[in-house]
């Protein structure tokens, strides 16, 4: 197989690139990783994340809850707030605030 970028040399590096193209500045960024182990999406953040600023009243599994979780992941916040709504219904704190 030949390099995806120069189409001349045999591939010898990840992303189906040859040695020269893989280490050339900027070329590697043009081609996404082809590895099934590559990091995709918002990343896998495993640090101590700050808690979210406010709880959500969206029920687990709902599109609204998934959107809230995606936003929390994007801002590298903890995904879960202690006062988030559960399948048993919204928590008492949310009911009193509303």
Could you read off the pLDDT of 34-55 as tens digits, one per residue? 777 776 665 556 667 888 999 9
pLDDT at 36: 77
Q: Which two tokens stand for residue 84?
A: 């988030």
Quick one: residue 76, left, alpha or beta (phi over 0 = left, psi -120 to 50 = alpha)? left
| Residue spans per domain, the chain | 1-35, 44-98
User: Using 50, 70 and 90 to split pLDDT, how confident is the model at 74?
Assistant: confident
Look at residue 33 in the predicted model and tell me its pLDDT: 82
> For residue 27, what pLDDT band results from cuts at 50, 70 and 90?
very high
Higher pLDDT, 26 or 36: 26
pLDDT value for 11: 92
Residue 39 to residue 51: CA distance in whole angstroms: 24
What single DSSP character describes residue 49?
Answer: P
Residue 84 has pLDDT above 70, yes or no: yes
Q: Is the pTM of this model over 0.75?
A: no
CB atoms within 10 A of CB 78: 14
> Are the C-beta atoms of 28 and 15 separated by less than 8 Å?
yes
For 14-25, what is the mean pLDDT? 92
């Amino acid at each position: 197989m030949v390099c995806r970028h120069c189409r001349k040399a045999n591939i010898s590096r990840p992303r189906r690139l040859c040695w020269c193209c893989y280490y050339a500045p900027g070329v590697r960024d043009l081609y996404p990783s082809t590895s099934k182990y590559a990091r995709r999406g918002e990343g896998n953040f495993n640090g101590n994340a700050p808690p979210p600023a406010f709880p959500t009243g969206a029920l687990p599994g709902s599109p609204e809850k998934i959107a809230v979780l995606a936003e929390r992941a994007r801002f590298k916040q903890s995904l879960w707030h202690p006062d988030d709504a559960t399948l048993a219904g919204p928590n008492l704190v949310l009911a009193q605030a509303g």
